[in-house]
Amino acid sequence: MIVPQEPVVEIVRRIVDKQLNLSAHGYELDADDDLWNMGMTSLTCMGLMLTVEDTFQIELPEEALREGTFRTVGTITAAVEAARSAHEKSERRV
């Protein structure tokens, strides 16, 4: 597992911006902007999920794979932090 040098929310924000190409249109993404209202589709959501998992070297649990998890930068960040915490707890048990 990687330990990011910057806050998780900033990494997630950058990933989302790249997936939705928002900064190219002059939009600065806030943590609670509704991504689905900003053009997120099921296809971009799938790409976003895979990029998040690869970047943080985690696997989001099945219950997190729903539209609400990918509603905002904040909800994605919460899912990443929960998955990382669960991974760390399971590694301590080994």
pTM of the prediction?
Answer: 0.89
Alpha-helix residue ranges (DSSP H) falling in the chain: 8-20, 42-56, 73-93
Count the helices and strands in the chain (H runs, E runs). 3, 0
Contact between residue 53 and residue 60 where contact means Cβ atoms under 8 Å apart: yes
Residue 4 predicted with pLDDT over 70: no
Q: CA-CA distances (angstroms) from residue 44 to 82, 86, 89? A: 22, 26, 31
pLDDT tens digits for range 13-69? 999 999 999 988 899 899 999 999 999 999 999 999 999 999 999 999 999 999 999
